[in-house]
Amino acid sequence: MSKIEVAEKLGRRWTKDKMDRIYFALDEIGVIKVSRYGTGNVSEAIWPDGEKISNTRASRLLNVKFWFDVPTGTICTKKDWGGADDVDVAKASSILETILTGVIV
């Protein structure tokens, strides 16, 4: 299965003019496992390797937009607010790349 096919199964495709993107919700595809309080706030977050991540860092990471840019075949990100840690964004991007390529590291 190609990266695009995997991305389409896991994300939501959006196109406009010359833009063609597939957006992902990290907690829905296994990049980060999140438990929530009844209010919707993060109560616990864990990376796939078992490392815990603080609730604040997880909340900030979940507010970063992650997408697969179909024309270039790359994963892109955009921080909207909250100052997500660059290390967390890089780790999430790496995990997402692993999921899309089917390569287990």
The model's pLDDT over 4-44, given as tens digits with 9 standing for 90+, comes to 999 999 999 999 999 999 999 999 999 999 999 999 999 99
**Tokens encoding 51:** 């490392």
Query: Could you report the per-residue pLDDT of 69-104, keeping only the tens digit for each?
Result: 999 999 999 987 667 888 999 999 999 999 999 854
Cα-only R_g, the chain: 14
pLDDT at 88: 93
Backbone φ, ψ for residue 58 (5° rounding): -65, -45
Name residue, tokens 């003019």.
17
Q: What is the pLDDT of residue 105?
A: 40
The pairing of strands 42-46 and 52-53 is antiparallel
Question: 3-class SS at 21?
Answer: strand
For residue 78, the one-letter residue type is K
Query: What domain count does the chain have?
Result: 1
Full domain range(s) for residue 73: 3-101
Tell me if the pTM is above 0.85.
yes
